[in-house]
């Protein structure tokens, strides 16, 4: 029984680390690209206000903007300049 508890605890820890890395990367993206701050704030507000079918709505909203393309371009540029960024970006993308 102790192994199950340890396994669940390990999974929770990994999820927490992943969320922290992803949020840190998004914060760095917003700091570097202030013009997207309004769009991201709008998306977060929609997410917080409407919890039913939110994922589908947010995905459609993101597809309608150039935000994802710009984020991918920013990630690739930073990964090519910084080996540490490239490593953690790989961890985030593979998870």
CA distances from 14 to 11, 21, 32 (A): 5, 11, 27
Distances (CA, A) of 78 to 26, 65, 88, 90: 13, 21, 11, 12
Average pLDDT over residues 75-85: 94
- Of the pLDDT bands very low, low, confident and very high (cuts 50, 70, 90), residue 79 is very high
- Domain segments of the chain: what residues? 2-94
57 pLDDT exceeds 80? no
pLDDT band at 54 (very low <50, low <70, confident <90, very high): low
d(CA 92, CA 86): 10
């Amino acid at each position: 029984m102790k192994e199950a508890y340890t396994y669940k605890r390990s999974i929770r820890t990994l999820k927490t680390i992943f969320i922290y890395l992803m949020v840190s990367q998004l914060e760095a993206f917003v700091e570097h690209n202030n013009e997207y701050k309004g769009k991201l704030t709008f998306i977060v507000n929609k997410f917080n206000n409407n919890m039913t079918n939110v994922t589908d709505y947010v995905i459609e909203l993101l597809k309608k903007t150039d935000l994802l393309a710009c984020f991918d371009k920013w990630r690739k540029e930073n990964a090519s300049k910084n080996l540490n960024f490239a490593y953690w970006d790989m961890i985030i993308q593979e998870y």
